[in-house]
Structure 1
Amino acid sequence: MTVQSQSITTHSRALRVKALLEKLGLAEVNPGACSGPDGWITDPQGERLVSYDPTTGEAIGSVIQATAPTYDAIVARAAAAFAHWRTVPAPKRGLLVRDLGNALREVQEPLGEMVTLEMGKIRAEGIGEVQEMIDICDFALGLSRQLYGLTMHSERPGHRMYEQWHPLGPIGIITAFNFPVAVWSWNAAIAAVCGDTMVWKPSPTTPLVSVAVQRICNQVMADHGLDGIFNLVIGSNDQVGERMLDDGRLPLISFTGSVRVGRHVAQRVAARLGKTILELGGNNGIIIAEDADLELAVRAVLFGAVGTAGQRCTTTRRLIVHRSIVDEFTQRLARAYQSVPIGDPLEPGTLMGPLISEQAVERMMQALDTAQAEGGEIVTGGRRLPHLGPTFVEPTIVRMPRQTPLVCEETFAPILYVMAYETLDEAIAIHNGVPQGLSSAIFTLNLRTAEQFLSAAGSDCGIANVNIGTSGAEIGGAFGGEKDTGGGRESGSDAWKAYMRRQTTTINWSTELPLAQGIQFGE
């Protein structure tokens, strides 16, 4: 395995980190709650949350977490702001989001580097994540003039019937560490043009980048004479997270994270008849047909499996290859793996950075032990790289004799399981034979094979691709999946409907009062 040694000194990296924090207005200790330009709250009872650089294991900065009273104050401010924001015409609301996109353009590089610093994804991916925020703001701006409803023909003479969509209310957004800003923007930009305010609880692993984003939001809100639209609450699960789930002031909770926690979120919010958008596990598979373009497939699988060090919800985790080419394809892929530069994600040329934590490394190593116990063979990788940093590992390919119980689980690490198949029906059965249903792909040059994969009898995932990998979804399509992935949809298409309430309206412009279904009531 080719690795890239740390090419900058500890001193020069420290200076680079300090300059980056200054560019984004981040201090050594930061308040963890905010409702607008003058709304920062340093909770006097809050505990200090330290953010660590996964590349070096060193502290970057810290945040004073919010406690329950501070949370209540922030939600109250979001609710008060909603009373006004819902009355602002949607195209006017779009101007706020347009300016947020422009403000993000001005800090795309430092904010992207902050994502890299705090989360560990390579610099190109960090900057790309901010580009995704910009793109969704552009999308939401156009959407602000397209919040359409249907017109239906009434069965009653002199009546007009149609549906309209109204703002829903303050919404809760709970995000994960791996996309610490993009997933927030998928929700926030769409919710804002829909007339909602929002309360954001980011991952405790990546608190500083959320503070940086809130500062940008504050600047934009100030320019529009607003506050309380974008709100931030960094806090523990018991002080903030559980309260969000039970809070009737938040009619919608959008949660991104594990299946285990997602089930808990769904049950708690449903108990109060609230709505949820759930983006949970993804155990994504690619089928490589015997007629596939192997060079194209290798490149797609490499990014899908190794990108973000295997810590994407759309990471390629299972490879289902036709038996006639499985040996050749695995060898090609192993050679590509062995040339991946691993090292400091801020440095040019690095293609894979660290895992987020020591716990993530331990889970990866445990999974590899289990894979071998279930008959798997490590083709390449599988080792820790302590000379690079505390949580660096080699991306790993494992040949499996079949789809074992381990392969049906999602391990959030760069492990790719390779299995062979004989017929397309068998491949699809293997592909669909896991609890998760997020992203999927097939590589084939055969039209019939592709169409079968895309048919109702094919992939059971929310995303299905042909001759591209499982990662890198565009914001124009609705993002989400089925089964244990949660069924939620965010970002493009008509995902905006989740952030609004539907109302069916009938207007009687006649002098009569006919009833539907021809019912006669009285004389």
Structure 2
Amino acid sequence: MTLANLGLSAEVSAILTRLGVPQAKLSGGTLAVRSPVNGEQLARLAEISAIETDKAIAAAHEAFLEWRLVPAPKRGELIRLLGEELRTAKADLGRLVSIEVGKILSEGLGEVQEMIDICDFAVGLSRQLYGLTIATERADHRMMETWHPLGVTGIISAFNFPVAVWSWNAALALVCGNSTVWKPSEKTPLTALATQAIFEKALARYVAEGGKAPANLSTLLIGGRDVGEVLVDHPRVPLVSATGSTAMGRAVGPRLAKRFARSILELGGNNAAIVCPTADLDLTLRGVAFAAMGTAGQRCTTLRRLFVHESVYDKLVPRLIQAYGSVTIGNPLQSSTLVGPLIDGGSYERMQKALAEAKAAGGKVSGGDRVLQNEAADAFYVRPAVVEMPAQTGPVKEETFAPILYVMKYSDFDEALTLNNDVPQGLSSSIFTNNMQEAETFVSARGSDCGIANVNIGPSGAEIGGAFGGEKETGGGRESGSDAWKAYMRRATNTVNYGKTLPLAQGVKFDVG
């Protein structure tokens, strides 16, 4: 079967039916949804208006007022059930991610597994929303901090991780006592519909088993930029977690700051790796290839800049170029495929523009050409590109969401550290070395300035247990594990006087009648 006649719309319809999405939602709307696998139209969805968005947020606020009163461990029970429903739906939802985004099937399934993992994490967290007991200078007093639900959590997600990002935020927000309002990318609304249906199954089980939960606890907004603007500007949304480009972040950040709202911004990741003289080159080759080519270079943690020590450059780079030339590109639903398509033609055009700029700056390009256009004229498959650059200049300092790996030679370790940090983006980074001093320096205060710094592994995201992000250009914020939950709550300091005096008022006399 060729790419052109895969019959994806029929398969998507069947998957969505199994997951609980009514067929009536898939047609008659203004938003055309196409698969990057072959350009086939999958659905036409109705879009919510700005006025309807305002009403939806108001309803979510009412849900928050009720949900915050439910004990946190009981809120965690809802997320436990969500994890169970995701396990049941994993095969269908993972395949839907691959069809709608173009990820290879193992990556689609892996994204759903991240959703399951964060549910597990959040269930435990629901019994660990700890505050401190604070030493006080006053006798017969106790001072402590307490954590309370914050309010409606707005979630804006990007196409490249269409469901995992929602789960990182929603699982934490819900156990913290918040309601959620989610605006997914216009490019990936079908996976959002499926996820909302799965959540509603979990919610129905929760209520059937005696749990108390309000309507509108999780709200999905299918729409364009105007919908996102209402969400960002709404006074009933004290926190917005937004994932996307740095351009999007520059638009969202000031609007939130203007009304003193909180933000969690996970944006660009022009990530780098340093290959040192002592690196295990076999390990390095595998780590670099996966980090740079996975998801067709469309991850925020994609490896985009590679600094190779001059002593191992000629041993590693030719092997890397050979690996790039031999990789299987094609239908992401086939198990033999390692690189699927770009999301759309705009991504292809931006990739070609960056490669042209790299050539003009003295770069030597291997790969980067379009393939399979005869099989799928409306899809955009490309051969991943390795670009040997004379210096970190021009497009190297800008993030292009495509499989382009810029390779540069270095001679001094401190020079490589400077190059790693010498871009405005700073989501993730890595070093390949067997030298303890280099490894420890890289993760120290004078090492990588990125939110994630890895040793002998590519610049992938942390596991669910670690906080993800920390993009330096914006001050960012953190999602997922560690103490990221604190962003979804408000802290209060409480002092309890269990004595009979007010120490600070000693010597002051009042006429108390």
- Is the shorter-chain TM-score for this pair beyond 0.5, marking a shared fold? yes
Structure 2: how far apart are the matches of 1:476 and 1:452?
24
For 2:333, the equivalent position in structure 1 comes to 346
Structure 2: how far apart are the matches of 1:466 and 1:7?
41
Structure 1: how far apart are the matches of 2:242 and 2:26?
23
For 1:183, the equivalent position in structure 2 comes to 165
For 1:242, the equivalent position in structure 2 comes to 229
Q: Find 1:232's aligned residue among 201, 207, 220.
A: 220
For 2:276, the equivalent position in structure 1 comes to 289
Q: Report deviation, 1:499.
A: 0.2
SS of the residue corresponding to residue 269 of structure 1 reads: helix
Structure 1: how far apart are the matches of 2:271 and 2:223?
31
Q: Report deviation, 1:151.
A: 0.6
Q: Could you tell me whether the CA contact under 8 Å between 1:437 and 1:461 is conserved in 2? A: yes
For 1:314, the equivalent position in structure 2 comes to 301
Q: Find 2:454's aligned residue among 465, 485, 503.
A: 465
- 2:293 partner amino acid: V
SS of the residue corresponding to residue 445 of structure 2 reads: coil
Q: Report deviation, 1:485.
A: 5.3
Q: Report deviation, 1:51.
A: 0.7
Q: Quick check: 1:425 aligned with 2:420?
A: no
Q: Could you tell me whether the CA contact under 8 Å between 2:3 and 2:37 is conserved in 1? A: no
For 1:409, the equivalent position in structure 2 comes to 398
Q: Report deviation, 1:24.
A: 2.6
Could you tell which deviates more after superposition, 254-263 or 176-185? 254-263
Residues 330-372 of structure 1: CA deviation (Å, up to 9, x unaligned): 1111111122111111111111110001000000000000000
Q: Quick check: 1:220 aligned with 2:199?
A: no
Structure 2: how far apart are the matches of 1:248 and 1:11?
46
For 2:18, the equivalent position in structure 1 comes to 23
SS of the residue corresponding to residue 70 of structure 2 reads: coil
TM-score, structure 1 length as denominator? 0.93
- 1:396 partner amino acid: A
Q: Find 1:508's aligned residue among 476, 497, 504.
A: 497
Q: Quick check: 1:398 aligned with 2:380?
A: no
Q: Could you tell me whether the CA contact under 8 Å between 1:28 and 1:61 is conserved in 2? A: no
Structure 1: how far apart are the matches of 2:282 and 2:433?
12
Structure 2: how far apart are the matches of 1:20 and 1:84?
34
Q: Find 2:42's aligned residue among 60, 81, 88.
A: 60
Q: Could you tell me whether the CA contact under 8 Å between 1:27 and 1:61 is conserved in 2? A: no
Q: Find 2:89's aligned residue among 107, 110, 124.
A: 107
Structure 1: how far apart are the matches of 2:74 and 2:132?
22
For 2:486, the equivalent position in structure 1 comes to 497
Q: Find 1:374's aligned residue among 361, 365, 368.
A: 361
Q: Could you tell me whether the CA contact under 8 Å between 2:94 and 2:111 is conserved in 1? A: yes
Structure 2: how far apart are the matches of 1:520 and 1:312?
65
- 1:167 partner amino acid: P
Q: Could you tell me whether the CA contact under 8 Å between 2:269 and 2:471 is conserved in 1? A: no
Number of positions where the alignment pairs a residue of Structure 1 with one of Structure 2: 502
Structure 1: how far apart are the matches of 2:180 and 2:355?
41
For 1:440, the equivalent position in structure 2 comes to 429
- 1:123 partner amino acid: L
Flag the 1:476–1:367 CA change in 2: closer, same or farther, 3 A.
same
Q: Could you tell me whether the CA contact under 8 Å between 1:257 and 1:279 is conserved in 2? A: yes
Q: Report deviation, 1:208.
A: 0.8
Residues 190-237 of structure 1: CA deviation (Å, up to 9, x unaligned): 001000001000000000110111111111112223322111111121
Q: Could you tell me whether the CA contact under 8 Å between 1:460 and 1:482 is conserved in 2? A: no
Q: Quick check: 1:482 aligned with 2:450?
A: no
Structure 2: how far apart are the matches of 1:13 and 1:81?
37
Q: Find 2:374's aligned residue among 362, 374, 387.
A: 387
Q: Could you tell me whether the CA contact under 8 Å between 2:4 and 2:38 is conserved in 1? A: no
For 2:64, the equivalent position in structure 1 comes to 82
For 1:263, the equivalent position in structure 2 comes to 250
Q: Report deviation, 1:8.
A: 6.7
Residues 91-114 of structure 1: CA deviation (Å, up to 9, x unaligned): 000000000000000010010000
Q: Report deviation, 1:399.
A: 0.1
For residues 111-126 of structure 1, the aligned pairs below 5 Å read 111-126=93-108
- Runs of 5+ consecutive residues of structure 1 not aligned to the other structure: 1-5, 33-45
SS of the residue corresponding to residue 60 of structure 1 reads: strand
- 1:125 partner amino acid: E
SS of the residue corresponding to residue 224 of structure 1 reads: helix
SS of the residue corresponding to residue 286 of structure 1 reads: strand
Q: Report deviation, 1:252.
A: 0.4
For 1:133, the equivalent position in structure 2 comes to 115
Q: Quick check: 1:323 aligned with 2:305?
A: no
SS of the residue corresponding to residue 396 of structure 2 reads: coil
Residues 441-466 of structure 1: CA deviation (Å, up to 9, x unaligned): 00000101101111111100010000
Q: Could you tell me whether the CA contact under 8 Å between 1:29 and 1:61 is conserved in 2? A: no
Structure 1: how far apart are the matches of 2:136 and 2:230?
44
- 2:493 partner amino acid: T
Q: Report deviation, 1:522.
A: 5.9
Q: Could you tell me whether the CA contact under 8 Å between 1:384 and 1:393 is conserved in 2? A: yes
Q: Could you tell me whether the CA contact under 8 Å between 1:438 and 1:463 is conserved in 2? A: yes
Flag the 1:519–1:291 CA change in 2: closer, same or farther, 3 A.
farther
Flag the 1:16–1:66 CA change in 2: closer, same or farther, 3 A.
closer
Residues 477-510 of structure 1: CA deviation (Å, up to 9, x unaligned): 0001232254210000000000000000000111
Q: Could you tell me whether the CA contact under 8 Å between 2:70 and 2:177 is conserved in 1? A: yes
Flag the 1:212–1:420 CA change in 2: closer, same or farther, 3 A.
same
TM-score, structure 2 length as denominator? 0.94
- 1:20 partner amino acid: I
- 1:260 partner amino acid: A
Residues 273-302 of structure 1: CA deviation (Å, up to 9, x unaligned): 111011011000000001100000110111
For 1:199, the equivalent position in structure 2 comes to 181
Q: Report deviation, 1:15.
A: 4.7
Structure 2: how far apart are the matches of 1:281 and 1:13?
31
Q: Could you tell me whether the CA contact under 8 Å between 1:85 and 1:195 is conserved in 2? A: yes
Residues 60-118 of structure 1: CA deviation (Å, up to 9, x unaligned): 11210000222122112211111111011100000000000000000100100000111
Flag the 1:379–1:84 CA change in 2: closer, same or farther, 3 A.
same
For 1:51, the equivalent position in structure 2 comes to 33
Q: Report deviation, 1:383.
A: 3.8
- Runs of 5+ consecutive residues of structure 2 not aligned to the other structure: 208-212
Q: Report deviation, 1:10.
A: 1.2
Q: Report deviation, 1:246.
A: 1.1
Q: Report deviation, 1:471.
A: 1.7
- 2:463 partner amino acid: E
